[in-house]
Amino acid sequence: MDYKFLKLENNDNILTLTINREKSLNALNTEVINELDQCITEIELSTDIDVVVITGAGKAFVAGADISEMATLNAAEASEFAKRGMDVFLKLEKLKIPVIAAINGFALGGGCELALSCDIRVASTKALIGQPEVGLGITPGFGGTQRLARTVGLSKAKELIFTAEPIKAERAYEIGLVAHVVEPEELMDKAYEIAKKITKNSKIAIRNCKESMNTGMQVDIDTSMNIEKSLFGLCFATEDQKEGMKAFLEKRKPEFQNK
């Protein structure tokens, strides 16, 4: 499918999704959000994508939601706009395959929220990350108050949101917001390096791990342990489990078939 604001490139089952609205610093308007929704559906139905890497064109990852579109919304319209973004980001978060955010520059507001919806975040030293919404008289609207607190802890999340001050990549790494910080020219290589390591493993096992962690974070510890136990058990009904353990005992690399 052709997109106006997204560029897609699949290499060795690693899909690079570039948000390409460079003149507006890749700001998220309704068109971009709708395209992301359609693209995620396409990814869900694909059999030749094992990992997604999301990045932005130019000097921004995503500079935020489009303020020119939001400025005239009334309360009901704003709520619907927030719901639309939340639904799409939840859909991204629930993708069965891993998603890596390659944060190349500004990741503010909706851009930070998009990155938080990904499984792994890698940042360029030029990245600037934050939730500046209170400076505009609003709250984060695409899940920022919830995912940021779950990622870095309540106190740090409140400081970032209440002060509206973005942080540099090094600070984001210190508080656990990103997993790696690299020089700009190394960013995509680092994201691909992680993606390639992921593709060597059992897709079924990775899917079950993602489901266990994402679901377990929303419930009490006893319930989460039962979720893990069930998914662990289901792995033993797969050919991948048999191949993985057989390969280990035979001291060779496994050849997983996603079965």
Residue 106 three-state SS: strand
The catalytic site residues sit at: 113, 133
Residues 6+ apart with CB under 8 A from 11: none
For residue 29, the 8-state DSSP code is -
Residues 129, 175: Cα–Cα separation, whole Å: 12
Question: What is the full DSSP assignment across 42-58?
Answer: HHHH-SS-SEEEEEEST
DSSP state of 166: -
Helix, strand, coil shares of the chain, percent, nearest 5, are 50, 15, 30
